[in-house]
């Protein structure tokens, strides 16, 4: 039987785990909990980075960028996932799918570049500590941040536009939990070699090359740390770097599994769980990784908590007024 394809802008159906309805009910509550934790955890990171004077340094400027990015990244797809997992209706409009694709790719590509920028920041801090404030001054940090967000936007505009120009099959059943490029490409019955090559090139530029740069920077950092004579100095340097390296492992380990996987049904089914991990779990774990392993952030949280507690208590003058 021939499946008809056309270019009309009708609704898509996100199949997700529709063959496992019991799993979807469990995932709904798990994702809802993780989403709430993601919002609260990343908002706290942004708040303390902005409010605490001791965190007004490049590392926390980029960390607050990452937290804001994670907030937007998970919000671009999780609400739709919750709607789809809760009930039988799994449709998403063409416009909704297009917006999700553009935003999803933009923020995902931005995170790839931003993690490289954060690795460079750690490299300068550990390997060139005396020149750190000179090299990583405010203007450079802002320019690097704009570079990350701008690169992600350009990648999204190119990749999303070429994907949405494909004629899609009339059934519009997307075998995924979100509107992603690999799943949408498979929905077209025409030759998609150009789109697949474009996706492979983008994956090499935004996944393989950044990963090589990050690992290279950490090799240099490891050599510099070994030369530090103070045990406390080595521990402090390793503390901030280990947190970032763990975040890199979680993000790149799952994203590469989706965009560099072989084309077979088993790999695609596994890709759904990997997508679920880097869109839901990783943005939740990032704030925990940075707060639990970072004394400066924990100290800032305690100071902010004390300040809020002190401001909530009635002042001495207001107490005297009430007594009178």
28-79 tens-digit pLDDT: 999 999 999 999 989 988 888 887 777 788 888 998 999 999 999 999 999 9
**Rounded distance between C-alpha atoms, residue 152 and residue 123, angstroms:** 23
183 pLDDT band, cuts 50/70/90, is confident
Residues 6+ apart with CB under 8 A from 316: none
Cα Rg of the chain, angstroms: 23
15-307: CATH, from 3.40.50.1950, 1.25.40.10, 1.20.1070.10, 1.10.10.10: 1.20.1070.10
CB 72 within 8 A of CB 64: no
132-171 tens-digit pLDDT: 888 999 999 999 999 999 999 999 999 999 999 988 877 7
321 pLDDT band, cuts 50/70/90, is very low
Using CB atoms within 10 A of its CB, is residue 40 exposed (0-12), middle (13-18) or buried (19+)? Answer: exposed
300 pLDDT band, cuts 50/70/90, is low
Extents of the domains making up the chain: 15-307
Using CB atoms within 10 A of its CB, is residue 31 exposed (0-12), middle (13-18) or buried (19+)? Answer: buried
In terms of pTM, does the model score above 0.75? Answer: yes
């Amino acid at each position: 039987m021939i499946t008809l394809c056309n270019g009309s802008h009708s609704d898509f159906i996100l199949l997700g785990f529709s063959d496992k309805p019991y799993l979807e009910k469990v995932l709904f509550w798990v994702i809802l909990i993780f989403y709430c934790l993601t919002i609260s955890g990343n908002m706290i990171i942004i708040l303390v980075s902005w409010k605490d004077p001791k965190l007004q340094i490049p590392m926390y400027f980029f960390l607050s960028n990452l937290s804001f990015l994670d907030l937007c990244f998970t919000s671009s797809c999780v609400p739709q996932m919750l709607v789809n997992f809760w009930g039988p209706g799994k449709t998403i409009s063409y416009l909704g799918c297009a917006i999700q694709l553009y935003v999803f790719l933009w923020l995902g590509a931005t995170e790839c570049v931003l993690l490289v920028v954060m690795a460079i920041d750690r490299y300068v801090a550990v390997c060139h500590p005396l020149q750190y404030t000179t090299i990583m001054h405010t203007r450079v940090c802002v320019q690097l941040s704009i570079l990350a967000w701008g690169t992600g936007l350009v990648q999204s505009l190119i990749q999303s536009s070429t994907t949405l120009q494909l004629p899609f099959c009339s059934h519009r059943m997307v075998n995924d939990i979100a509107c992603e490029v690999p799943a949408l490409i498979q929905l077209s019955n025409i030759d998609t070699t150009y789109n697949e090559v474009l996706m492979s090139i983008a994956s090499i530029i935004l996944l393989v090359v950044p990963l090589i740069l990050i690992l290279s920077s950490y090799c240099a950092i490891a050599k510099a740390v070994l030369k530090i004579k103070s045990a406390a100095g080595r521990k402090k340097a390793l503390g901030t770097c280990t947190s970032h390296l763990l975040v890199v492992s979680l993000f790149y380990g799952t994203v590469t599994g989706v965009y560099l996987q072989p084309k077979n049904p088993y790999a695609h089914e596994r890709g759904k769980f990997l997508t679920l991990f880097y869109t839901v779990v990783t943005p939740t774990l990032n704030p925990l990784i940075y707060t639990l392993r970072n004394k400066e952030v924990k100290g800032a949280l305690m100071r902010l908590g004390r300040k809020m507690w002190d401001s909530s208590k009635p002042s001495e003058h207001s107490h005297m007024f009430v007594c009178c």
